[in-house]
Amino acid sequence: MKTTEISTLAWGCFWCLESAFAQLPWVIRAEVWYAGWTEVNPTYEQVIYWSTWHREAMQVVFDPGLISYDEILVQFWSQIDPTDDGWQFSDRGFNYTTVIWFHTSLQEKIARESKKRLEDSNKFQKPIVTLILPFTTFYPAEEYHQKYYSKSAFRYSLYKKWSWRTDFINKNWNEEAKEYLRWKDAYLAKKYVRPSKEELMAKLDTLSYEVTQNKWTEIAFTSSYEKDWNSWIYVDIVSGEPLFSSRDQYDAWCWWPSFTRPISPHFIKSVEDTSHSMKRTEIRSKYWDSHLWHVFNDWPKEEWWQRFCINWAALRFVPKEKLEEEWYWEYLYLFE
């Protein structure tokens, strides 16, 4: 079961790369390196004076269960001028040009789709020139460059301001980056348009309809999938929104399927439920608003665990072998 993923990126001065990622909660580790050329262990002087063809770069180690690779790339785009193939802001030279290095074929596919999405947005009048390349070599930068933004905070803040990067980000990306994320929300909302009542009744059997639309609760142990914890994901039976993975499934002795977390919080929303004289947190799918059931904080095995207790009748399972066929290829990493 894969619990971490690596992203390798170049977007100009690596001090700015590291500061953009290292303090975010879903990043496990962020380090600055020299990437993309064969000479072993280059020095900073060799790189900046073009004695070698390395770029200043960074590797981000992250938990793909908390943040997707696609969202890593959104953060990447929102820190750069992707139309400049000669420098980034005041830093001139090949070593400061922008690159996404992919580690797997899935990362390559996601990166190319992310770049095309930016191109199709017509945000910039000039072409997007950021390269997408296979990962090759990577050598650590000197220790004094690691966490430079923190070790030399004042000098770093002056550098970032006078390099014109801050002005560019504020002008072109601050709100636009948020809008870009909202654009993704709008795209998904369009993809998962809620059908009419008549269409739902024709699509679902009686139990699934009543559970997802009228908040019924199925009888425990009534599903044939109760103990089948193979390599698959569970999606909303109505819309297909990806919800849970068998890797996060466990036996909570509550008679209904339980999960420690959703595949992504992007497809889940919570609602306060005060029915039956109780105060609980109801879980619903974000876009089609299907009732799934509840989440509880009563499972003490690990302090970060929650118990997402879900009705089987609200779920459809998609096995690993069919993830690409059904356009869930982004979740193949769960079973590597």
Report the alpha-carbon distance of residue 11 to residue 58 in Å, rounded: 9
Q: How far apart are CA 295 and CA 258, in angstroms?
A: 9
Q: Which residues pair with 100 in a beta bridge?
A: 9, 132
In this structure, what token pair is assigned to residue 148?
Answer: 């430079």
> How many angstroms separate the Cα of 54 from the Cα of each of 49, 125, 156?
11, 29, 22
Residue of 47, 187, 202, 176 whose CA lies nearest to 123: 176
CA angle (120, 19, 32) in 5-degree steps: 95
Q: Does the annotation count 16 as an active-site position?
A: no
Q: Which of 13, 16, 254, 309 is catalytic?
A: 13
Angstrom distance (rounded) from CA 266 to CA 241: 10
Q: CA 21 to CA 29: how far, in whole Å?
A: 9
| CA separation for the pair 31, 21 (Å, rounded) | 10
DSSP state, 39? S
Residues labelled as active-site residues = 13
